[in-house]
Amino acid sequence: MPLPAPSSPRVHRHTRNIRAEAYEREDGYWDIDAHITDAKTRVVELATSTLQPNQPIHDLWLRITVDLQLNIIEAQAVSDAVPYTGYCDTIGPSYKKLVGLNLLKGFRQGVKERLGGIAGCTHLTELASMLPTAVIQAFAGDVIPTGDTEVLQAGEQQPFQLNRCHALRTDGLAVAKFYPRWIAKIS
């Protein structure tokens, strides 16, 4: 269902696109390629150049390689378009500092400590912050069991996704309907 019609006439001025794609590698690791672009619908006068409408101000890539325990074992960043060419696009190697972080254990705090403020690029660091949920979605059903039967075969207590969002709370109706074995007793 789309959003309702806006309550006032409006003009499209800016587009930010964020995309993440996951790839299972032959060596057992996974690559996550994340991409962010920003573009205006008008001519943009930057200190370093003039951009035409819809020409990217930012066109940035971040790839992490993770193992099955969600540890980052490799990271790289590339800047295809930046507002300050020769300056913004020199930060890519710093994103190797993501190596060693675990996506589920203190990841966002670790990113902030290693790449926050002047230690990183605001946009690449923001892109990094969405990696945990992107990887969980990629792993769901392939690496992380999500169905009742596969969870029991893997010896887990309950499916990974339970109690991680509003809809799948163990005292809620969705769990009662789709995962009745795991419904919490409501007093």
| Domain extents in the chain | 14-139, 148-182
Pairing of strands 14-24, 30-40: antiparallel
| pLDDT for the residue numbered 24 | 98
> Can you give the pTM of this predicted structure?
0.87
The CATH number for 14-139, chosen from 1.10.3470, 3.90.1010, 3.30.70, 2.60.120, is 3.90.1010
Tens digit of pLDDT at every position of the chain (187 positions): 899 999 999 999 999 999 999 999 999 999 999 999 999 999 999 999 999 999 999 999 999 999 999 999 999 999 999 999 999 999 999 999 999 999 999 999 999 999 999 999 999 999 999 999 999 999 998 888 777 665 556 566 778 888 889 999 999 999 889 888 888 865 4
Report DSSP letters for 109-175, one per residue. HHHHHHHSGGGS-HHHHHHHHTHHHHHHHHHBTTTB--SHHHHHHHT-SS-TTTTSSSTT-TTSHHH
At 177, which amino acid appears? K
What is the rounded distance in angstroms from the CA atom of residue 182 to the CA atom of residue 178?
9
d(CA 165, CA 90): 38
Question: CB neighbours (10 Å) of residue 86?
Answer: 8
The separation between CA 178 and the C-alpha centre of its own chain, rounded to angstroms, equals 27
